[in-house]
Amino acid sequence: MTTNMEELQALFLKWFKCYEKRNLNQIRVATKNLLASYEYETKSSLFKIFYPLVRYGLIEFCGDGTYTPSSPILLFYPDNKAVGINLNSVQIEKLKNRSQSYTIDRFGIVRFTATENELVTFSNEIDINSSKPNTAEYLSNFPKIKNIITDFDKVYSSDLFEYFDIESRKWEKTQKESFGLCRNSEIAQKYYFIENGATYSIPTNAQNPDARPIVETYIYCKQTSFKYNSNTKELNVGNINLPILIERVLRLASVFDTTVYTKEYNNQIYSNITTKTVLQLDRIFDTKTEII
């Protein structure tokens, strides 16, 4: 029977949780070996296996190119719906003894029913945090993305001759660009952002895994807009990966109803998004979401 990418992500997560932390080189080797063992192409193994788990909130960046399993949390939703993320086996057993209605997916995420008081009592009993996902409130604490970019180191370079086309997601040879994501060679692992005659050095993944997604989303929002359906409360951000921290906040709104597996750059849609959340995104990205 063929093993799909979601199953491979779950297998990787099980391995990852055996360690306190792993660095990117160790993670890259593990994801490549996992893909090869199931006869998948090993190219872009981090993006196929690892980064979706980071974006969903199951794995945390902890500095110096290292990652660790995220802290466990309980989330409470309307209609007495609740979710437990990254609970250990002892905590899951205690939850199963308290709730008559629950499911556990392959990522260890527990979806169950409980009143708010029951959830608070249980969270105190197992000593982990519980909260109601309030995406608009969380996002209100985020700075404007442009302010983050202008805090990157400013450099002076005239050797940037490859330009990244956001729409096609391909590098293109160019003589001179006044705005966008650039690099100075095909084998370079160093990237730059240019705007209004200024060139900014983008931190590496080991320094800040959100740096390049921040730049790409800023560029994307200058060329197009997000789309929001006020009837279904679905937000379509298009073919872009949002900054990891922002995506994780948006996914909190629909953890009870959605799975972990995500495809990169493929019309990312977020459910149960409020208009207040959309306004916060417009502020952060200096854009105007299209209401449909």
Range(s) of the domain holding residue 180: 149-208
Q: What pLDDT, on a 0 to 100 scale, did the predictor assign at position 1? A: 47
In the sheet with 129-131, reading across from the earlier edge strand, the strands are 102-104, 110-113, 81-85, 73-77, 129-131
Give DSSP secondary structure letters for 243-280. Answer: PHHHHHHHHHTTTTT--S---TTS-EEESS--HHHHHH
The answer on 237 and 260 residing in a single domain is: yes
Q: What pLDDT, on a 0 to 100 scale, did the predictor assign at position 71? A: 94
CATH number of domain containing 100: 3.40.1170
236: in domain? yes
Residue 146 CB partners (closer than 8 Å, separation 6+): 218, 286
Q: What pLDDT, on a 0 to 100 scale, did the predictor assign at position 266? A: 62
Number of domains in the chain: 4
Q: What pLDDT, on a 0 to 100 scale, did the predictor assign at position 103? A: 93
215: in domain? no
Identify the residue whose tokens are 């959830």. 119
Q: What pLDDT, on a 0 to 100 scale, did the predictor assign at position 167? A: 85
Could you tell me the mean pLDDT of each successive run of 10 residues in the chain, 292 residues long? 82 96 96 95 93 92 93 93 94 90 93 94 93 93 96 82 86 81 78 92 91 95 93 90 92 78 65 94 95 90
CATH number of domain containing 18: 1.10.10.10
The residue out of 178, 208, 238 marking a domain boundary is: 208
Report which residue type is found at 266: N
The residue out of 186, 208, 230 marking a domain boundary is: 208
The answer on 178 and 235 residing in a single domain is: no
216: in domain? no
SS3 label, residue 135: helix
Angstrom distance (rounded) from CA 82 to CA 265: 29
Q: What pLDDT, on a 0 to 100 scale, did the predictor assign at position 257? A: 76
Element (H, E) at 117: helix 116-126
The answer on 61 and 100 residing in a single domain is: no
